[in-house]
Structure 1
Amino acid sequence: MILTVTLNMALDVTYEVPSVDWDGVNRVGAVHRRAGGKGVNVARVLATFGRDVLVTGLVGGPTGRAIEDDLEAAGLRAALCRIAGGSRTTLAVCETAGTPTTPGRQEAPTPHEGAGGRRTALFNEPGPHVTPDELAGFVRRYTSLAREADVVVLSGSLPRGVPADIYATLAGIPDAPVIVDADGDPLRHAPKGRPSVVKPNAEELARAFPGSGGAQELRSQGAEAVVVSMGADGLLAVTGEGTFRARMPYTVVGNPTGAGDALVAGLAMDQARSWPDRLRTAAALGAAAVAAPVAGAFDRDVYADIHPQIVIT
């Protein structure tokens, strides 16, 4: 069983609009609402591959009930801890103008703009306040669940009241491999729990460890391996078996929200595989997730096309 942990769960709302008029009225073409947070997105991708996955985390208030209902409707097993504070909502506004009919080979977009001017803006609420007693109750529940897990994924932002070193604490509990996907102080603290993999993106790594050598620094502090996602430039993995680079054959244009979560799902699957095989699957899933309209989904056709073309050096 793969256990995914999302302490700052959310109800993800995605608006699809032709283009955004920031000074006028915008007509939304399509609306998607579903349970989210990075660990939930990871679980959705794993479930698509038929993996046995269990979602845990913190939920509260009416939004928390909506999250629970959506997880049940999606057929995702969950063991959640309720808190007094209300869970957050996140909003992604995705422009659809210029979107290709079929995702595929496109010229590389600028950092904030896709082919034809397509852009995505994210609005993430901070989340509820968690009391010490609520956090202690979750840690007890997590400890029991983690002992039954084959792999544990700890990912996403932290709600208020949760200490920045919580991922280090949680990573040190199970004997199973632990993957941590975090930013800021939680990322800096994570190696203390000796996780199997720490997965920042390039910007997160640069913020946490200015200058070069951030991946090596994470390893020197206790992480067994560090996998850095670099968008269209692929992946860099610094491991005990050596350093690997996964290079993408072309850029996929779409909604990047959830691409890193799909990538983490690829890393969580089949731990016995070689690093090149794991990285190829992870990179292909990340690219295929960009072609899907909502986080937690991926385009199977893009995945099948791009997977064999990824070059590992």
Structure 2
Amino acid sequence: MILTVTPNPALDSTVTLDRIDLGETHRVTPAVTRAGGKGINVARVLRQKGFDTLAVAPVGADDLAEFEHDLGGIPSVLLPVPGPARRSTAIVERGGRTTVFNESGRTVPAVTWARVADAVRSRLAQTGCLVVSGSIPPAAPESLVADLLALASGAGIPTIADASGAYLLSAAAAGATLLKPNQRELAEATGERDPLAGARALQAAGAGLILVSLGEDGMMAVPRQGAVLRARLDAVLTGNPTGAGDAAVAGAASLLAGGVTDVRALLSRATAWGAAAVLEPQAGSVHPDCDALERRLTVTEIPT
């Protein structure tokens, strides 16, 4: 089983239109809304691809029923917290541009974080990989991500973190098996504009493999030892990229949970699943042509 933790889940709404004219009124078809947040999106993709998964998340009590209904057959542990869930709105222009508005979220009671940790701890015996993914709500403990990763790594379970800022650095210091920042997150956290230098900074802090999302340029894999690789598709795909990073994490987790540690395999699946997510209208799903997209990848070694 792959266990995902989403510290800051959201109700994700997607609005699709031809184009945005700033300052104007737009008449659009009804938004499509679903339970989301990065870790929940990871769990959705894994479930779609046939992998056992469990999603753990603190959810605003006002919207708990909607989360439970929307997740349907996806196993989950949803821990109620006071108030509504945060909202995220993606505005997708059919020409290929996507604009996202993310609420920051609300403070989660300290006792809830203890319950999240208990939910993880009690399921370690059935867990093949732990994923902690997404933004962190205000006033959360600075060690939140690192503490969760430590539970799994202490039991010999591989870990993945998709975080930013200080939480990305703390995940590295906790010895995460794999980190998946994008270029902006990597630069902001490490102060290094060059992705390779940024990845090495995370590894100097204690991280293992770093997968860096490069947008249209694909993805770079930086192992602690061995060749640095880049995977790139043979053509740029247009669509909604908001769930691409989550699908990439799901792809990597699906292999790590099965004991696969080959860097090329992890990079290829993560890149292909991320690309397949761009072809879907909403985050949390991938196009059925994942395998075909993986065969279209070019993987090259980056001189260092």
Correspondence for 2:65:
65
Task: Report the CA distance shift for 1:27/1:146 in structure 2 as closer, same or farther (over 3 A).
Answer: farther
Kept in 1, the 8 Å contact 2:11–2:35? The answer is yes
Q: Equivalent residue for 1:283?
A: 271
- Structure 2 partner of 1:210: 191
Contact 2:42–2:246, Cα closer than 8 Å, also in 1: yes
**What amino acid sits opposite 2:4 in the alignment?**
T
Partner of 1:171: 149
Match of 1:296 among 269, 284, 293: 284
TM-superposed deviation, 1:40: 0.8
Give the deviation of 1:147 after TM superposition.
Answer: 4.0
Q: Aligned-pair distance for 1:179?
A: 0.2
* Corresponding position of 1:108: none
2:165 alignment partner, one of 180, 184, 189:
184
Q: Could you tell me which runs of 5 or more consecutive residues in structure 1 were left unpaired when the two chains were aligned.
A: 99-117
TM-score calculated relative to the size of structure 1: 0.89
Matching of residue 119 in structure 1 with residue 97 in structure 2: yes
The 8 Å contact of residues 45 and 298 in structure 1, kept in 2 or not, is answered as yes
* TM alignment of 1:59-138, pairs within 5 A: 59-72=59-72, 75-96=73-94, 98=95, 118-138=96-116
Match of 2:231 among 246, 253, 262: 246
Match of 2:294 in 1: 307
Q: Provide Cα deviations, 1:117-166, integer angstroms capped at 9, x if missing partner.
A: x3211011111211222222222222212343110110000112212321
Contact 1:170 1:193 in 2 (8 A): no
Aligned counterparts of 1:267 and 1:30: Cα–Cα separation in 2: 34
Alpha-carbon distance in structure 2 between the residues aligned to 1:147 and 1:125? 35
Measured at CA, do residues 312 and 153 of structure 1 come closer, stay the same or move farther in structure 2, by a change above 3 Å?
Answer: same
Does the CA-based 8 Å contact 2:4-2:55 persist in structure 1?
A: yes
Indicate yes or no: 2:150 matched with 1:150.
no
Separation in structure 2 between the aligned mates of residue 207 and residue 266 of structure 1, nearest angstrom: 25
User: Does 1:255 pair with 2:240?
Assistant: yes
Whether 1:37 aligns to 2:16 is: no
Which residue type is aligned with residue 234 of structure 1?
G
* CA RMSD, 1 decimal: 1.5
CA displacement 1:186-228 (0-9 Å, x = unmatched): 1121112211001101111011112231101111111111111
* Offset of residue 236 of structure 1: 1.1
Please, which runs of 5 or more residues in structure 2 have no aligned partner? Answer: none
Segment drifting more, 81-90 vs 153-162: 81-90
| Letter aligned with residue 264 of structure 1 | V
Aligned length: 290
State the shift of 1:292 in Å. Answer: 0.7
Question: 2: distance between equivalents of 1:292 and 1:283?
Answer: 15
Moved over 4 A (4+): none
Q: 2:210 corresponds to which residue? A: 226
Matched position secondary structure for 1:29: coil
